[in-house]
Amino acid sequence: MTRLEPKGKVMGQAFMDEINKIFAPLMPRMPNYRYWTIPKDWKKTRYVFGWTTQRDRKGKFYAFKYRELKNGDWTLIKKVAFGRRRIAKARSSKWHDKYYGDKTT
């Protein structure tokens, strides 16, 4: 007797996995990103500076800046597109160093 679904999965799950593989490239998703840390003893307005590590649908990498709100949420302040990842990383590093100086953790 042959088994159609992988061991440990419910019968419909294998079918849904195949459907997801087919439609995954068509679904929008946010590219992976990295960010610089905030100094632990920082008391002023908290910003996060980061960059994407994967291209988006337009083939661009981004450097971005988020600000922490009083309720703990984060809001996007600035986003700039670049053709190369290392340039996006360098720009976010420049923003981070300008705001926080040498106080990195």
pLDDT digits (tens, 9 = 90+) for 57-104: 888 999 999 998 989 899 999 999 999 999 999 999 999 999 988 655
Q: What is the DSSP letter of 9?
A: S
Residue % of the chain over a pLDDT of 90: 40
Using pLDDT thresholds of 50, 70 and 90, give the confidence band for residue 42.
confident
Distance CA 90, CA 78 (A): 15
- Predicted confidence at residue 2, as pLDDT, reads 46
- Predicted confidence at residue 82, as pLDDT, reads 96
How do strand 33-35 and strand 47-52 relate by DSSP bridges?
Answer: antiparallel
Q: In degrees rounded to 5, what are phi and psi of residue 61?
A: -105, 155
What does 53-94 look like in DSSP terms, one character per residue? SS--TTS-EEEEEEEE-TTS-EEEEEEEEESSHHHHHHHHHH
Long-range contacts of 57-60 (CB under 8 A, 24+ apart): 57/28, 59/83
- Predicted confidence at residue 15, as pLDDT, reads 77
Average the pLDDT over each of 8-17, 28-37, 39-48 and give the range with the smallest value. Answer: 8-17
**Both tokens of residue 104?**
């990195």
- Predicted confidence at residue 102, as pLDDT, reads 64
Provide the whole-model pTM: 0.67
